[in-house]
Amino acid sequence: MLFRRISGIYESRKRLLEDPFQFRGIREYTPEDPMNKINWKASARTGSLMVNQLNSAVSGNVYILLDVEDETVWKYEEIHEEGIRLAAAAAEYFLSRGIDVGLITNGKDCKEKSEIFLAGQSGRGQREKLFQCLSRIDLGQDCRKFSDCLEGKKEFLLSRESLCILITKNQYGELEEIMAELGEKNQGSVYLATLYSEMELKIKRKQRMEVLRWEVKR
């Protein structure tokens, strides 16, 4: 249900960017497709519902923003491990649909000792690269504030019209502001808060920034 909701946000954004004059082809209908995209002549010929595919004004892509910083001396390894699993699941979900996926995290590589960044691509090779990056995050290393990390990548993300999915337990003003800006200028962003049941969700939904809660079991 979580990824179907995120996928709905992506599809809504994609429809905003689609060029109705650039016909790309025909494919089978899915429940997420609006009725006005159905090609009734092609559906009659094939005996099943078919929809028109349109090129987007920009290439659709998703960037997963994974924050593994602990703001206090307390360590939240369970939450960060769940965040890594969610990042892997989100990558798998979008890559299986032919969508370019990239990764930005303040987590450090266990071998290179540097922050991990993977540019967006699609295909089986990208899946393997992304899973390898996630598996090599060393939660024992100190990492910088994720808002500082995103500040340096903001222009990069804006230039690619990326749908940004933030996975984090942290809820502070600078991070919220950056995600709201990415949402507004990129036609959408997702703030996915990974929290224990007793933790309060403080971030409020903005016009183009969806806020979702994912409860982590102890």
CA–CA distance, 155 with 93 (Å, rounded to integer): 26
Q: 177: which residues sit within 8 A by CB, 6+ positions away?
A: none
Q: In a structure prediction context, what are the per-residue pLDDT tens digits for the chain, which is 218 residues long?
A: 777 777 777 666 655 445 444 555 777 887 767 787 788 988 898 998 988 765 444 456 899 999 999 988 899 999 999 999 999 999 999 898 888 999 999 999 999 999 999 999 988 899 999 999 999 999 999 999 999 999 999 999 988 878 899 999 999 999 999 999 999 888 689 999 999 999 999 999 998 899 999 999 98
Q: Give 74's contacts (C-beta < 8 A, 6+ positions apart).
A: none
3-state helix, strand, coil in the chain (%, to 5): 40, 30, 30
What is residue 57's predicted lDDT score, i.e. its pLDDT? Answer: 41
Amino acid 37: pLDDT: 77
Dihedral pair phi/psi, residue 76, rounded to 5° = -120, 60
**Rounded Cα distance, 215 and 193, in Å:** 8
Contact 186, 157 (CB under 8 A): yes
The pLDDT value recorded for residue 21 is 45
